[in-house]
Amino acid sequence: MNIENEDYKNIPGWGMDIDLDNEPTYPMKNYTGDDHKRSDYERSEQQKVDVELLKSNERPQYSVVFGNTVPPSGLSGMIRRYAFKHSEDRYRHWIPLIMADRVNAWEGIIEDLAKGIIPNVLAERGIKSELRYNAKGFATKILVTAAVSVLMIAWIRNKKK
Amino acid sequence: MLAMNYRGPFRVRAEQRPMPEILHPEDAIVRVTRTCICGSDLHLYHGMVPDTRVGSTFGHEFIGIIEEVGPLVTNVKIGDQVLVPFNIACGKCNFCKQGLYGNCHESNSMATAVGGIFGYSHTAGGYNGGQAEYVRVPYANFGPTVIPADMDPDDAVLLTDVVPTSYQAAEMGGIKEGDTVVVFGAGPIGIMAARCAWFFGAARVIIIDHIEYRLEFAKNYAKCEAYNFKSMADPVVFLKKTTDWYGADVCIDCVGCEAEGNTLQTFSGKVTLMQAGAATALQWAINSVKKGGIVSVVGVYGPPFNYVPIGNVLNKGITLRANQASVKRLLPKLIEHVQSGRLNPKGLITHRVPLEEISDAYNIFSKKLDECIKTVLIPSAKH
């Protein structure tokens, strides 16, 4: 850390009212002063980076351990790589990540189909419990959707005429 | 092994997936015996947390048996029954050394705003979670805690997140003897936070929600007052009136980004995603607390930003305190509270579901069907 005035402790009044108990994060934080050592602490052995790992540009190195699940791939992966070029402060980081998640949901369906799996979307959404505990709500939703669809179709047909 | 697989918003399934492996000398593999769905898992399930990748396994509340350890693991051994704090902490960095185990600097490469959390998106480190038969647990010398022999596993699994988060919510409130504490949200965390507020000397604890069965549950479980905001013209005015037009001493936000009750917040946060979810509860907390009061936040919000009345925080001199729970710091005290019978975490559990039925478990919890408060998933892995 660069301290411009090395003699700061000789400034009149310096440190007179230090009160370590006046720590706004107490009792969550047991303040030791180690914060001023920054990243100078004993680190464990670095986990081997054997998958593509997107790293926040707000830190210089990978964390000692990390999750190696679901590395970026496909179109969503391209969007995620773009997002990680920007800091966590920027919308250009977070909004592309949300977009990538939506794209990724479609990629998941394609991935399933490529493996010969037809995703049972209704089961994945918990249709069994829906029918058991919310049959009325489910039926209402179906009826409203059907009614809106019929009205839309009728409106489009009328417009064509 | 059987594990949860996220396929996109509102779509999850249980299926066979590869076994986790030791990737670091301080890793352990844990065979999961109990795991929960957390209210914050619903933010992932609803597609509200950025960088939640299809193919991920959720689950940050779990206990289990140590099945395999890396060569440098000495604090736990194969066969130990352990509860695993939801946050992944090294115990060595300067944040961990000061007790901020929820803010470890060495467990998440992908974001600096949050430490590593099991099964909580790549924003929280990209780890698979415990809604599976087996899970990789990094820093096994530090995180996993051996479960006392006489402890009920249902109590133990709630010590991984629910109880510490709730307790810390009350602790961060800086509650003084005689204080009036208002808790927003009658989910498992809100109910437990209301219960914990008494530990710090509160004279009055009020919980606010809009779901009647949860309010009734909270009233009985946490011995607090419970009010439905839908029956009020304006919850902030109600709370001012009931505190002699002064404001509560402490307000606790246990709702987070999927709050209801304010049309503008709902539209901008949940419908159009113009902000990181609806911050209605936080807005109410700031506006309901007294001048110079404390607002404690444990409700989960996404990373971009939220619309909150920060001007009122300044003008009222409010102290805003928030953090992910420092589970490891709180465990000794909380284990004692549970073992002495002062706290009964398992009393929150309303549903026990096999892991195979995870799609329905999520739907039930998400839509609050069948008077659900807390769901425990039970994997059936056998040797």
What CATH number does the domain containing B182 carry? Answer: 3.40.50.720
- Classify strands B134-137 and B28-37 as parallel, antiparallel or unpaired: antiparallel
Q: Tell me, what's the pLDDT at A38?
A: 84
What pLDDT score does A77 carry?
Answer: 98
Same-domain check for residues B140 and B241: no
> Domain-by-domain residue ranges, chain A?
8-119, 125-156
Euclidean distance between CA atoms A50 and B252, whole angstroms:
43
Asked if the structure places residue B89 within a domain, the reply is yes
Same domain, residue pair B178 and B152: no
At residue B296, the pLDDT reads 97
The answer as to whether B13 is a domain residue is: yes
Question: Under an 8 A CB cutoff, do B112 and A58 touch?
Answer: yes
Domain match, B61 and B136 both? yes
Same domain, B173 and B236: yes
Interface contacts (A, B; CB < 8 Å): 207
For residues B284 and B341, membership in a common domain is answered with: no
In this structure, is residue B369 part of a structural domain? yes
Least confident among B5-9, B111-115, B122-126, B233-237: B111-115
Asked if residue B138 belongs to a domain, the reply is yes
Q: Does B180 lie in the same domain as B105?
A: no
On whether residue B383 sits in a domain, the answer given is no
Decide if pLDDT at B170 tops 50.
yes
Nearest neighbour of A28 by CB, restricted to B23, B106, B323: B323
Q: Do A63 and B54 touch (CB under 8 A)?
A: no
CA angle B175, B179, B184 (to 5 degrees): 75
One domain for residues B153 and B21: yes
> Of all residues in chain B, what percent carry a pLDDT higher than 90?
95
Q: Are B22 and B124 in a shared domain?
A: yes
- pLDDT above 60 for B382: no
Looking at B322, B338, B363, the residue that finishes a domain is: B322
User: Is pLDDT of B383 > 70?
Assistant: no
Q: Which residue in B72, B138, B362 is closest to A65 by CB distance? A: B138
List CB contacts of B375: < 8 A, sequence separation 6 or more: B36, B37, B349, B350, B351, B352, B353, B361, B364, B365
CATH of the domain at B51: 3.90.180.10
In a domain, B45, yes or no: yes
Nearest to A41 among B94, B123, B128 (CB): B94
Q: Which residues of B touch A80 (CB under 8 A)?
A: 51
The pLDDT, as a whole number, for residue B270 is: 87
pLDDT at A16: 84
Distance CA B5, CA B57 (A): 5
Q: Which of B65, B68, B118 is nearest to B89 (CA)?
A: B118
**10-residue mean pLDDT series, chain A (161 residues):** 76 81 80 86 95 96 96 98 96 95 97 96 97 94 93 90 75
Complex ipTM = 0.92
Kindly state whether residues B152 and B193 are assigned to the same domain: no
Is B252 strand, coil or helix?
strand
- What one-character DSSP code corresponds to residue B131? S
Show which of B274, B289, B322 is a domain's final residue: B322
- Poorest-pLDDT segment among B217-226, B241-250, B291-300, B372-381: B372-381
What is the number of structural domains in chain B?
2
Tell me the C-alpha distance between B173 and B190, whole Å.
13
- State which residues form the domain around B237: 166-322
- Note the Cα B164 to chain centre separation in Å: 9
| Cα gap A115→B19, rounded to integer Å | 20
